[in-house]
Structure 1
Amino acid sequence: MRRAKVPDPKNRDGIWYLIRRVPKNFEDLDRRRIVRISTNIAVLDDPRKVRAKVVVEQLNLQLEAYWQGMRDGQSADARLRFEAAQKRARALGTNYQTVEELRGGGDVVEALTRIELLITQRAGEKEDDVAAVLGGEGRPRFRVSDLPGEYEKVQAAKLTGYSDAQVKRWRNPKVKAATNFVEAVSDKYLDELTRADAIAFREWWQTKLVTDNLEIGTANKDIGHMNKMHRMVDMTNHLGLLPVFSRLRLEGETTGSRAAFSPAETKEIVLSPELDRLNDEARDIVLIVAELGLRPSEVCGVLPHQIRLGAPIPLVAIVPEDRQLKNPQSERELPLVGNALAAFRRHPNGFPTYRDKADTLSATVNKALRKAKLLPTKDHTLYSLRHAFEDRLIEVETPDKVVASMMGHKFQRPKYGKGPTLELKARWLSKVLLPLRHEPTPPASSD
């Protein structure tokens, strides 16, 4: 619900009151036209309304929570009844249609067939069966604020392999888009949304882009999320909604590649004593990303049994275990060489501090690199070391298929055979090795 301005305390018979009109979208739930709640504070005891304002604000929050709870409870009950009717209709051998849909279709034969089904199944005496076959439960109504949760239900199978942190990262931009729409327009029912509402959201973003100096892509992400959530929730629940969010993207969006460090800048970072200001795990993840071009999240997610230091060629296996990889090509094995081999020897059990916390790692490292003046531009981040690794491979003319295999990218040609071997990868990695960083010298004993 879009929060209204906190009402000012009103004097009613010498007592300060919270007085509010019931919002239109709750009139069907709360039959009171005007709500009046006493603060129990006498006007004479608080003539300037200092204490009364605090109490009114608390009462107002409680009132809004009450309205929200009524709506959520009603929506949840209606949804459960509707889903039960759908399942029962299927069990009786028919598809579910509401009374309105059956009446609107005008198919007398269909109506008679359903009545005959109730008779033959001897289900006419059961109220739930009658409701299921003859459409006694209306389709659930959803508001804009319901979209992220409903869309997440639709995508449940996709999210099965995601870690908790990955689900959170997947969910947050959807919630943000719906929240922004509610702020820009209102928390309308989906079946009440119009094209004008969607355009108003687009115009809200156009203004925000200018006032907040944001990239056009920021707005287009919100619009895209709203369009996809709206479309999928509509399709899944057979709501028959109009595609109000289609073709609304703003023109002028630019997509540039992420910044990469030069070879000299990468070496400076790897050898910089400033890295020792990081904790051991963060420092060694930086060295692994620089040496092997792994995504920081991939290094953070490595489990102990995926680090095989005793293999004929020491390696790390990037596999979708306890988390989802970015794409199928990301599943791969990389030989451990140089700083990466040394780092994994120091951490044979992986990096538990940052497991499933890649965002925390990136924030920590980027802050340290920025403070040490090791980031040439505002576009450079920890991730830029991965792009620098790819540039080093290209510089020594590594075959495209080998580059794609080590980066975890899709190779744009038909796949034949098993792909590049560990030996072949190790051979090309030997051509782009970084200077070996020595472990920091432990402090001298005070004895």
Structure 2
Amino acid sequence: MKTIILKYVTKTKTGSFEYRRQVPVTLRERLGRYEFKKVLGLTETEAIKAWPSYNDWVERQITNARAPGQRATTIETIRTAMDDWREAMTRLRALGIDPTAPVYRQEEGPLIYDPDGMVRDAIIDDIARKYPLDTDGHPDVTSRVDAMMIAQLGAGGKAKRPQPSFVDASRLYVEMKVAGEIDERRKRNRVDRVVRFVRNALGKDPKLSELTRSDAREVVREMLDADLAPSTVDRNCNDIRAIIEFGIREFELEQQAVNHFRNIDIKGLKDVAKAPRDERNPFTEIQLRETRAYILKHAGPDLKLIWRLLEATGLRVSEATGLQVQDVVINCELPHLIIRFNDIRRLKNEASRRKVPLVGDALSAVKEALDAAADTRVGKHPLFEKYGRKGGGDAASAALMKNLRKVVVDPKVTVHSLRHNMQDRMIRAGVDAHDRCLILGHAVTGEANRYGSDEARLVATTKAMKLSMAGKPT
């Protein structure tokens, strides 16, 4: 009997039938996933039965994402009550009214205060005539703002501002915690994604003070129903939890709001939490050798040099693409790179500011980059012309991933895995944790972070780098 072939379905080592389909590269940001993945059953019969409905759902997701004019909602495009309030206050000030004080009137003579409210009533009537409220039962933005203006005047400057919502907290979170970060775009996308899940699950933008445990469970259910893996749901809940915690603190709602996403249960999530190291796998020796060969044969000139630098130093992609000519120091006894804030990119954290030794192929790659640079007389000129710009790190990462996937299909092996490989090499070479942190740009805690000159540290890390890179390509 001939076995039925189901498209995108393979039999796993454990015997189950799994549907795996990569999302087109251009749609990954919009859909918020790299691939569609689902176990259809433990037998061929179960898989055949489950395949049509799931494959149809996947097709709809891809079709909808490709639809022209479709733009995902972002926190910037959502209008909140706080936005209406701010606009109302701005309009009042434009009319010469201080919204936080009793209403005064300035005529040709002295300042007049109207204790009986006659002037206040006149201004309210005037605003009502200038901004007539919508009467069709569906108030628009203008009418909502009008209502707030009138309420403020009617209360003599004592009307309370609206309670901050989840979107308000998300915006402030992005402004204070995300903007300017090395991976700002990715983090903004994550915030937008969880905002969409919260609004879809609850049918509104909830006020922080009104969120309940039941609401939290509903959001989790919405994400699971969208066929997200429990681990992805858990990661999204971490983002939501961080936003709410931040909002409660910054809006001073400690006595009014509770973060109900703390300790939320997620069906299917293992009790033992995964450590960050489990999220990415290092390259195997064969994978690394074959990927390097492919990139050095097919990638563009800058990309080849960037790959060699990443592999030989453990730099983050944006740290490499953000290098300027002035960051390269090679005419000395200890050649190195200076990783610092500059006009091209920010750094992940303070610990990322460091000097990275140039040894072996890293030194060769940097020298080739200097030889190819358009202008080495200007210190602030990018070392890598094509990617030395805002967003250049993302562009280089995407290009490298495109090449990498021609060789390695394991989704846990990415360009970032090169940092894991560097960590493993240093551990095997016996490099201590302190020097490993200095090389990779991880935080060094305790007394070890307080002592040692830059020169002494560079001597130590150069020795560590030479030891760990022994036998690597030169």
Residues 119-163 of structure 1 show CA distances to partners (whole Å, capped at 9, x for unaligned) of: xxx9966979x979965332124554444224334x1xx556546
Which of the residues 324, 335, 340 maps onto 2:362?
340
Which of the residues 241, 244, 247 maps onto 1:230?
244
Q: Which residue of 1 aligns with 2:144?
A: none
Residues 6-40 of structure 1 show CA distances to partners (whole Å, capped at 9, x for unaligned) of: xxxxxxxxxxxxxxxxxxxxxxxxxxxxxxxxxxx
The Cα shift of 1:173 comes to 1.0
Cα separation, 1, equivalents of 2:167 and 2:359:
50
Amino acid at match of 1:243: V
Compared CA separation, residues 141 and 325, structure 1 to 2 (3 A): same
Cα separation, 2, equivalents of 1:426 and 1:237:
48
SS in 2 for 1:138: coil
Which of the residues 213, 217, 223 maps onto 1:199?
217
Cα separation, 2, equivalents of 1:222 and 1:207:
14
- Partners of 1:314 and 1:335 within 8 A in 2: yes
The Cα shift of 1:230 comes to 2.9
The Cα shift of 1:218 comes to 1.5
Compared CA separation, residues 326 and 150, structure 1 to 2 (3 A): closer
Q: Which residue of 1 aligns with 2:418?
A: 385
Which of the residues 340, 365, 369 maps onto 1:319?
340
Compared CA separation, residues 132 and 266, structure 1 to 2 (3 A): farther
Compared CA separation, residues 411 and 235, structure 1 to 2 (3 A): closer
Which of the residues 79, 88, 91 maps onto 2:86?
79
- Partners of 1:82 and 1:137 within 8 A in 2: no
The Cα shift of 1:175 comes to 1.2
Cα separation, 2, equivalents of 1:132 and 1:275:
72
Does structure 1 residue 255 correspond to structure 2 residue 272?
A: no
Cα separation, 2, equivalents of 1:294 and 1:171:
23
Compared CA separation, residues 285 and 434, structure 1 to 2 (3 A): farther
Which of the residues 149, 162, 180 maps onto 2:197?
180
Q: Which residue of 2 aligns with 1:44?
A: none
Compared CA separation, residues 381 and 316, structure 1 to 2 (3 A): same
SS in 2 for 1:276: helix
Q: Which residue of 2 aligns with 1:276?
A: 297
Does structure 1 residue 411 correspond to structure 2 residue 470?
A: no
Does structure 1 residue 328 correspond to structure 2 residue 350?
A: yes
SS in 2 for 1:421: helix
The Cα shift of 1:319 comes to 0.9
Q: Which residue of 1 aligns with 2:461?
A: 425
Q: Which residue of 2 aligns with 1:152?
A: 174
Cα separation, 1, equivalents of 2:385 and 2:88:
45
Compute the TM-score of the two structures, normalised by the length of structure 2.
Answer: 0.59
Q: Which has the larger radius of gyration?
A: 1
SS in 2 for 1:352: coil
Cα separation, 2, equivalents of 1:148 and 1:160:
12
Compared CA separation, residues 235 and 294, structure 1 to 2 (3 A): closer
Between Structure 1 and Structure 2, how many residues are aligned?
A: 329
Compared CA separation, residues 192 and 395, structure 1 to 2 (3 A): closer
Compared CA separation, residues 376 and 79, structure 1 to 2 (3 A): closer
The Cα shift of 1:189 comes to 4.0
Amino acid at match of 1:343: A
The Cα shift of 1:351 comes to 1.9
Compute the TM-score of the two structures, normalised by the length of structure 1.
Answer: 0.62
SS in 2 for 1:430: helix
The Cα shift of 1:275 comes to 2.1
Structure 1 gaps of 5+ residues are 1-60, 86-90, 98-113, 115-121, 438-447
Amino acid at match of 1:384: S
Compared CA separation, residues 423 and 264, structure 1 to 2 (3 A): farther
Q: Which residue of 1 aligns with 2:427?
A: 394
Residues 359-386 of structure 1 show CA distances to partners (whole Å, capped at 9, x for unaligned) of: 3322221221221x2x373321222222
Cα separation, 2, equivalents of 1:417 and 1:394:
22
Compared CA separation, residues 370 and 434, structure 1 to 2 (3 A): farther
Residues 209-253 of structure 1 show CA distances to partners (whole Å, capped at 9, x for unaligned) of: xx44x1x23212322322332343344334564325342433524
The Cα shift of 1:332 comes to 0.7
The Cα shift of 1:316 comes to 0.8
Compared CA separation, residues 148 and 352, structure 1 to 2 (3 A): farther
Cα separation, 2, equivalents of 1:170 and 1:380:
21
Amino acid at match of 1:383: H
Structure 2 gaps of 5+ residues are 1-68, 93-97, 103-110, 121-148, 371-381
